[in-house]
Amino acid sequence: MIKKILIGIAFSPNLKANLFEAFRLGNMFGAQVIGVHVGEKSNEKEKQLQQLLNEAPKLQQPLKTLWQEGKPVNVILETTIQENVDLLILGALQKEKLYKYYVGSIARELTRKAQCSVLLLIKPSIERIPCKHIVVSGLEDEKTEETIKAAFTISKNLDCKRVTIVEEISQAELNVKVSDDATLRKATLAKERLKKREDFRVECMLKQIDTNDIIIKKQSIFGRRGYSIGHYAKIKRADLLVMNAPKKMGIIDRIFPHDLEYILSELPTDVLIVK
């Protein structure tokens, strides 16, 4: 359940759209929205913010505004803990340059370190754009059932009628080298067995979830984890990609990328990372 949402207030061209998206989600979940500005407070900034709030959707609960000084990443991470935040909303660049990928932009660094769920917005909108298709990771993991539950909760709140559960399967699991017709048939049969195994696992999880009025597709993909689901979400023009948070992400994961690092380096759409 999302009870508190935090959004960073940075006076940039996207602030209005980011705020509007946060307010819509706040009203959708009946959650309190907290805005934190990192930097010096001034009368001019207060006036700018108030002007935006006058134009924004009315919140069920008043916006709580915090003005803090310090390093942006540290301030926001500390605020998520102090305020018991459930969801952190961040604006993000769709593609990072190589230098930023290794050093870490503010959005990526917060995504890796935040203890709450994170929503990365690459296309915030002042006017609400209907969500028509959600893609969610069905990767075999202890967190996946909660992630899929979160995806269906979001879909119902957004009135989204289409959810695709992507089961990423490593090519290494096939363990068949194709060199002729016989090995090709063997590889095809192995793929079918793996698909059936993954579909059965997902079906067991879906029995515990309210999926009424939602069109569900299960899609098995063989390839590199993270990259494959990101590519799928992009070519299918999904409106939201929902992923598990990894157990641990450090410098080694960025040199030898973790599956989520492929998503963070080139966001295919808006991404929700469930923690």
Cα-trace Rg, the chain: 20
Last residue of a domain, one of 79, 100, 129: 129
CB 230 within 8 A of CB 271: no
Same domain, residue pair 170 and 274: yes
Cα–Cα dist 270/122, whole Å: 6
| Contact (Cβ atoms closer than 8 angstroms) between residue 116 and residue 85 | yes
Global pTM? 0.87
Assess whether 165 and 261 both reside in one domain. Answer: yes
Domain stops at, among 129, 156, 187: 129
Instruction: State both tokens at 259.
Output: 């599956």
Helix ranges restricted to H, the chain: 15-29, 43-55, 72-82, 98-103, 106-113, 144-157, 181-206, 227-235, 251-255, 259-265
Query: What string of pLDDT tens digits covers the 275 residues of the chain?
Result: 799 999 988 887 888 999 999 999 999 999 999 999 988 899 999 999 999 999 998 899 999 999 999 998 999 999 999 999 999 998 876 665 654 444 447 777 888 889 999 999 988 888 888 999 999 999 888 899 999 999 999 999 999 999 999 998 877 777 767 777 777 787 788 888 889 999 999 999 999 899 999 999 999 998 888 889 999 999 999 999 999 987 655 544 444 445 677 788 788 899 999 98
Residues 123, 7 share a domain? yes
Specify whether 203 is located in the same domain as 102: no
Q: Of 74, 102, 129, which residue is a domain's last? A: 129
For residue 268, what is the enclosing H or E element? Answer: none
Show the domain range for 7.
1-129
- Residue 90 sits in a domain whose CATH number is 3.40.50.620
